[in-house]
Structures are given as structure tokens and as C-alpha cells.
Structure 1
């Protein structure tokens, strides 16, 4: 069987079993869009990639519809997506994209708070398949990052065309870029800083022959960022090649949360990746020239979580910051879940903290952030 024919779940198990590992190279508070010392550096093209905590017009999601990808787990993951969409839809508009022939079933599952729009999709990972939205010239525009199924690892005949189709559907201008990447590759503070893992972008399965410097130049042009911080990441151990949104997240300008393994577990490729990220971030400065505070958030006890599977993602980093709520996974380790919720409340006191059980989604190698994509409101 070719790699492209493997399901997401099957591929993850295959890669883990094979022990394939290549580490990347080490790279040498206020929430309203401006830092305490004034506005951020302005990109030459006037473009800006906003932070997730800024105001949203809507949240996009996608309805998983492929038995080739999910097999017998399809109904469970559809149930998780419906529950997540309903939880977010109680606080802000949610638009769920679904294959036309599956739209009625999606509406029935998600309820009246969720708008279902017929649009051809393969899978649920809206973070990666929906365009990355930027502001420019008083308009929202969408960057099409040429979704390729994470380097041709999964079927993507529909998802590969989704960015263009969605932009046409909503009359949003499309920005083209030669870079192949996914929305989960990037993390920003909204003030010109971009953090990403080298393993998921400077990789022959996405951008063969493209150097890191060239990728950085193209990202700055497409997204309007002025400072790029590179983390090493991990190649070949999961389908995304270690997206940054399971490793670290900004919660305010100059403040990041960093994933940490459950205390006492032996070191592995993921904990070493987190250690490398910590070393880079603690010595880095953001686009304003300010230092970055790193706060570690441990994973739950693997013996207490309710989900299982070789691909299960138990990182709290894969949360979603909505306009009125913060949605984070609930794994079943009550002590760890409570700690994560309290930490979110400290950083987002004006938002409701909404824990959501997503065992089927996490079992497929992703999380809440992977399944959501925010459309920014002009002016933040």
C-alpha cells in the first residue's frame, strides 16, 4: 500500500512502530493588538496575522466523512465534532463545512446553534485545510497554503481544494504562496512574531529543495510577520511532522505555554523536542524585541486518561481561544484537567473555560485546535 493510501490513524501507528526519527536543526500584556511600548513592527506589505484571542466573525469546522480515513471510528469522531461544534456555537457563530450529501446528517448531529454549509471536504482538520486569514488594507484575505495531506500521507482530493473553494464561497481574496504548509504549523502573538517547527515545513515531503531562509522569506511575505522563531520539532513520528500547536501556544504577547510530559516518565523524542523548544524560547525575543516568558503545562497521567491508542494526543496545548470561551481537552485525569483549566482561567479571566471530552479526535492524532479555524473580525 502506498503512503498516500494509508489512513491518518494507520500511518501514525506505522511510523511509530517503525521508530522513524529525524530531529530538525536547532534555531539559533495586553491583548488588544498593541504592546505596552506601542504598535508592533509593520510588515512592508501592510499585512497582519492576528492572534487567536482577538475577536472572531465565526469559527470554521469540518465534518469528518471518510470511512477510508476513520474506519469503524467514524461515528465516534463525528460525535466528538458535533459536541465540540455545539459547545463553541453556544458562544459564537460556528460554520461547519460538510459534503453536500452529508450536510443533513451534520445538521441533525450538531443542533441549531451550528450553521452547516455544503462544501466538499475529506476530513475534520479545519485548522490545516481552511485558509490562514490575514488583514490587509482594511479587508480580511485568505492565504492558501496548498494543503497536500501533510506531505501526501492521507487522501486530500477535496481538502486540497478547500481553501480556494471556501474563499470563493465567501468572496474573500485569495493570497497565493509557493510554500506548502498547514495552519497548525504556525503560532503567532498577533504582533509580528511567528513560531513554527522546522520539521513540519522545511521538509522534503512539503517543500523539496526550499531552504529555511527561503521558507522564512515567503512566510513573512504571505503572513505579514516580521520575526520568525524556529523550533526543531520532530520528523517522521506523526502525520504532521510535529505541528507547533501541540507543543507551545501564545496566551498573551510575550507569554507562551509549553507542553511537558507527565512527571516521571522516561525521556522520549517528544519530551526532548519540548526541552529543545524551551531552550530556544527562553533565549528568544519577539518582534518587539521583548523576552518571552515560558510557562510549562504537564500532560495528564497516561494511566488515568480515558482515551487510548497509539496516536492519542494528550497535550493540553491543542486548545482553542474563542471570542467568549477557551475550549480545551478534558482527558479524564481530574487533577491534571483541573490544573489546565485553572491555568487557562488565569490567562483568560474574561472568558468562560469550557472543557470538552474529545477522546475520538485525540485518538486520531489531533485535538480541539486542529479541528477549528477562526475567521478574524476586522480591527481585532
Structure 2
């Protein structure tokens, strides 16, 4: 496979500070909007490299040029036009809301964590004139009740909840948008109900494999954030540091609420301190909120201890054929410490038909400028495809 560097308007030899790098995938080229039969390209930026430029044929730039011309700015803040609570089991009730255009194309936002809940800013990724925007809080997160409850709380319960919500709102099919754990659940849901999904935007890929959990919670990421790691580590006695996930599980499920809160704060702060390429104080402060931290930490830990309730480590990758036809964009921060790029890369290799966008100057959070821009543009691309189909 030949690698090529694509300049804008550059001399044949120079010192690069920012350069588009394209890795063509061998699929017959037909139209830049096609997923299963169109040429797809890995696009990212390479910085500070000296290299002689070899121009790439202009027709290979079509998809990238189209993508760069799309709106990449967040939409203004809007308020929901309807909200409610849906009882999904004898124990659980989930919060939902709708905003944007009531007659628009439905899109469901799947939040991260698990246990993170939604926020009003999540609505801003979508054109409110075009999209019917559905947000919901997963079991025991956000406004859903009971709070921080682990009973009847599995990936399969959440998938059923998404379907119950779709049916409750009388939506035949919808676009799926999810980042971090939201990408995990989006993949699992779409693989279970591929006929209900019109397109997907995935960010900060998390496949819930052992090596991903070990990287972030058992000392791998500590090599990059030793200062943030030490408070997380030091809450656990040396005798229990053989598995931090298990040690935290014991404390997050303690009979003593103070022990639960202390563990929840440490767990949450560790993640919030590593979620951005540059520290974000507002994000870090979430770790001081006991109400938020308890749900976030308890539910995350519960899912990780139970390996996502998946039957195998490679479960999501093994079922890509079920969703290969769905028009999808994958957005990944190059320096994502929480969900390192190895997972996005593995997904890209298994699913080369999906657009793969690597943001060179970003970490994990959807709120980092480069990631935000790519997410909005990905929604705009799907919007245009849907509009063109209707013409």
C-alpha cells in the first residue's frame, strides 16, 4: 500500500508544520458519499516532518474536500420542546428529552461513562432545523432513577431501553451518535438493531477489552499522568494494588457511604484530569460533586468488572459485518489517554468502509475544538446525504 502526502499549495521540498496525510483503502471508487462501495481514506495531520512532496491525483481528494467545506461550528444552545420519563422496568425509569425540529430526521445521543448522563450542551452538535434531537440518561445516571443503582443494569438492559424509547417516541429509525462508552453502546445497539440505524457518528472509541481497561486503570496511563494517578493509586493500600478495578469495586459498594463517596471522587477525578489534552478545570470539578461522582464511578466500575457483559473480549469487532453497510464516521483524538487510539485503529482496520478522522491536537473529550469540529462536520455530511436522497 503506497503512502502519499497531500499538500495544499506547497513547494516540492520544505519543513512541514502541518500536513494532510492520506492512506487510501483499496475499494473501487464511485462517489465520495458512498460507504460500502466508495473509496475511503484515513485522514490525519502529521506535524514537524521534513519530506519531499509527491502530489496525489485530485480525484482522490474529493471526499476530503467535501468534508472540509461542511459547517464545523457548534449550533446555538436550544431548549427541549418535550421531556419525560419512561418506565423501562419494575425498578428503572429513564429521563428523555427532544429538541430541534419535531418533524426532522431523528438522531439519538448516547452519552458516555457509563453513568455520565447528558447535558444541555449535547444538543449543539446537531442542526436544530434539520434534526429531531433525542437525548436520554441511561439507567441510574443523570435524571434517571433510582440514582447510582447497579441492579438490572447491564449493556443488554440499556440496548432494550433504547429500543423502548424509540418505540415510545414513535420513531421508525434514527441516526446514532455516541462517544467513549457511548461508542461502545452505539456499536452494541446498532449490531443488535441494524435495521433501525440510518447512520452513525462515533468518537473516542472504547471496545471494552481487557487491554483497554488495564491501560487506564492498572497503571498504563499513569506513565503520562503520574501526578493525576497518585491520588487514585494512594486511596488503595499496597496490598490491594494487584487490581485497582477490583479494589475500587469493593469500596464503591461498601456499606459505608463515606467510603463510597471517597472512592467515587478519586475514580472520577482520575478520569476528568486525563480527559483533555490540556487540563480543563471545569471538567475536573465534576469530581468534587458527590452526586455525579457516585453514579459515574459506581456504574463505570460495575460495567468494567463485568467486562461490559459481553461474551468475549473481541465481541464488538467480531460483529462488524452486521453494521458494515451503515454510513459511519469515526472521530479519534490522537492523544486520547482515556480511550487510546489503538482501539479506534482496530475498529478502522475491521471496518475500512467507515470514514476515519484522527484529530492531531486532541485528547478524549468531545469538547476539544478539533474533535468538536469533526463531530459537527460528520453530522453535516450525513445531513447532506439524507437531503440528497430526498431530492
**TM-score (norm: length of structure 2):** 0.31
Q: Which has the higher contact order (CA 8 A, sep 6+)?
A: 1
* Larger fraction in helix: 2
Q: Which has more radius of gyration?
A: 2
